[in-house]
Amino acid sequence: MATKDDRRAALLLLVVALAGGLVRLGGLAVDAPGAIGYQSGSERRPGRDSVDAASARMSRPLGMGERIDLDRAEASDLARLPRIGPALAARIVNDRKLKGPFGSLQEVARVPGVGPAVLEAIRAHSTFSGVARREPAPASGKVRLNTAPESLLQQLPGIGPIKARAIVDDRRRHGRYRTIEDLVRVPGIGTATVERLRDLVIVR
């Protein structure tokens, strides 16, 4: 006759057997046709390949005599230029989309963040295949100081890309110029420059 201990042992064995069966069933469920298993490190992420490719291009050093076409290159290639990182490369591409090709190194200065030091650093590695858009001068031959874009302002004597941008920024922040003398409020422009421009600009 089975004792209490025998019955307890049999019950324990039954529980263990049932648990083992459930584990086996679980394994079959994972391996069932159509089931998708998870393998650590093997998952695919959308766009990962393209991100890796762009990163590889940005980290590739410039070759001897290699030049980047600033009128056509993607941001990942522009970022390879000295002193041009991913953020500035993206701004260059955005500016090009909005305003058209640069056409020359000097025109790149219209991009915020590009100054004389950057231009000098990229000079030996830059090339241009496009032609910059030029704003036509008024019939009088004079430049309208309150409406002219940077590309036109920088053609004035004593006004290069940096000062042209400063004029546009000042115009945006402080409003229109009432007289040509108001130009002295722009950093880097003094009375001597104003006198040089007096017969070349219109203030309306």
pLDDT at 39: 43
What's the token pair of residue 122? 């990229």
Which residue segment(s) compose the domain that 185 sits in? 143-202
Question: Where residue 181 sits, what CATH number does that domain have?
Answer: 1.10.150.320
Last residue of a domain, one of 99, 127, 155: 127
* Whether residue 198 sits in one domain with residue 147: yes
* Alpha carbon 110 to its chain's center: 15
* DSSP 3-state of 66: coil
pLDDT at 37: 38
pLDDT at 33: 46
pLDDT at 111: 87
* Whether residue 151 sits in one domain with residue 190: yes
What's the token pair of residue 25? 């069933």
Q: How far, in Å, are 40, 59, 78, 88, 92 from residue 85 at the CA level?
A: 34, 10, 8, 6, 11
pLDDT at 197: 92
Helix extents (H) in the chain: 4-30, 48-59, 75-78, 86-99, 116-122, 150-153, 161-174, 191-197
CA–CA separation, 88 and 120 (whole Å)? 15
What's the token pair of residue 63? 């070759």
- Domain presence at residue 176: yes
* Whether residue 163 sits in one domain with residue 121: no
| Intervals of the chain under pLDDT 50 | 2, 9, 13, 16, 22-25, 27-42, 137, 139
What's the token pair of residue 149? 């874009």
Last residue of a domain, one of 103, 127, 151: 127
- Domain presence at residue 40: no
pLDDT at 110: 80
* Whether residue 151 sits in one domain with residue 122: no
pLDDT at 28: 43
Q: Which residue has the tokens 């031959």?
A: 141
Which residues are CB-neighbours of 68 under 8 A, at least 6 positions away? 62, 77, 78, 80, 81, 122, 125, 126, 127
CA–CA separation, 119 and 97 (whole Å)? 20
Closest CA to 150 of 106, 188, 181, 194: 106
Split into its structural domains, the chain has a count of: 2
What's the token pair of residue 119? 């231009």
137-162 burial string, b = 16+ CB within 10 Å, else e? eeeeeebbbeebebbbbbbbeebbbb
